[in-house]
Amino acid sequence: MSQKHLGHTARKRFGQNFLHDQYVIDQIVSAINPKPGENLVEIGPGLGALTDLVAEEVAHLTVVELDRDLAKRLREHPFLGKKLTVIEEDALKFDFASLVKTDGDLRIFGNLPYNISTPLMFHLFSFTKKVKDMHFMLQNEVVKRLCATHGDKLYGRLSVMAQYYCQPIPVVAVPPSAFKPAPKVDSAFVRLIPHATPPAQVDNIDRLQQVVTTAFNQRRKTIRNSLKELMTHEEIEALGIKPELRAEALSLQQFALLANYVERKCVEASVEVKKAE
């Protein structure tokens, strides 16, 4: 059965759940705390529940909306239209750096479609040097994973990589009833503040991604086994890390040690290959 809200049918393929609880909307906008002159960007404005209130505080707002009907609706809105720059693109592919006016000035926010929230977070992490802060409505479990520390069952690849780039802070829990259609899960609003200096020294971010992904792809195995294609248990031990630990027991700093070691090995191996040629 289609769910209509303000004349718009929520589209399942876009993961649309529209916020309608005014108390929750007020809490969220006050957490974002938009100020005139700021470089504000909303992802997935939908029917404008957050857009309306944010636009009351500022003269201009950029929105990224994939649904062409909603994009058209926003462009033609009698009050919002003149304040908005509507970018009709997929946020997963959009170059957010193209919106930067001065480095680190982007303030990104939105009620993110839950079906793409994790890949979208990873896409956004690549722009954190350009970002002042990010505020997102996400599935509650995703927020818990963003904030989980090592030793926690929900700690995983998203936790490690998010915390390398940002400090995640849960802001407010949101029940399904705050949305139309109501999702089957609880939601939460989270603030992500990019680190001025990353909390761990990483020589190659792609290598950190590789080590973290490899370790968590087989999270029930010890790192001696899950990382055996990348390094020996003696090499792990030499870094002061116990090879019998599982991925969820390792801190970001320990993952950085492993990644930097694997990177050095790869660099040395490629030097040897060049010499042999």
CB count within 10 Å of CB 149 equals 12
Looking at the DSSP bridge assignments, the partners of residue 181 are: none
**Residues 85 and 101 sit within 8 Å (Cβ to Cβ):** no
**Residues 184 and 157 sit within 8 Å (Cβ to Cβ):** no
CATH architecture of 205-276: Orthogonal Bundle (1.10)
Cis peptide before 199 (omega within 30 of 0): no
The helices-and-strands tally (H runs, E runs) of the chain is 10, 11
Encoding tokens for residue 68?
């062409």
Nearest-angstrom CA–CA distance, 200 and 246: 20
Query: In tens digits, what is the pLDDT along the chain, a chain of 277 residues?
Result: 223 344 444 444 444 467 888 888 899 999 999 999 999 999 999 888 899 999 999 999 999 999 899 999 999 988 888 999 999 999 999 999 999 998 889 999 998 888 889 999 999 999 999 999 999 999 999 999 999 999 999 999 999 999 999 999 999 998 888 887 787 888 999 999 999 999 999 999 999 999 999 999 998 999 999 999 999 999 999 999 999 999 999 999 999 999 999 999 989 888 877 777 6
Return the domain boundaries, the chain: 4-194, 205-276
- Give residue 264's identity as a one-letter amino acid code: R
The residue assigned the tokens 């999270």 is 219
- Give residue 237's identity as a one-letter amino acid code: E
Q: Candidates 3.20.20.70, 3.40.50.150, 3.40.50.300, 3.30.450.20; correct CATH number of 4-194?
A: 3.40.50.150
Q: Is there a shared CATH topology between the 4-194 domain and the 205-276 domain?
A: no
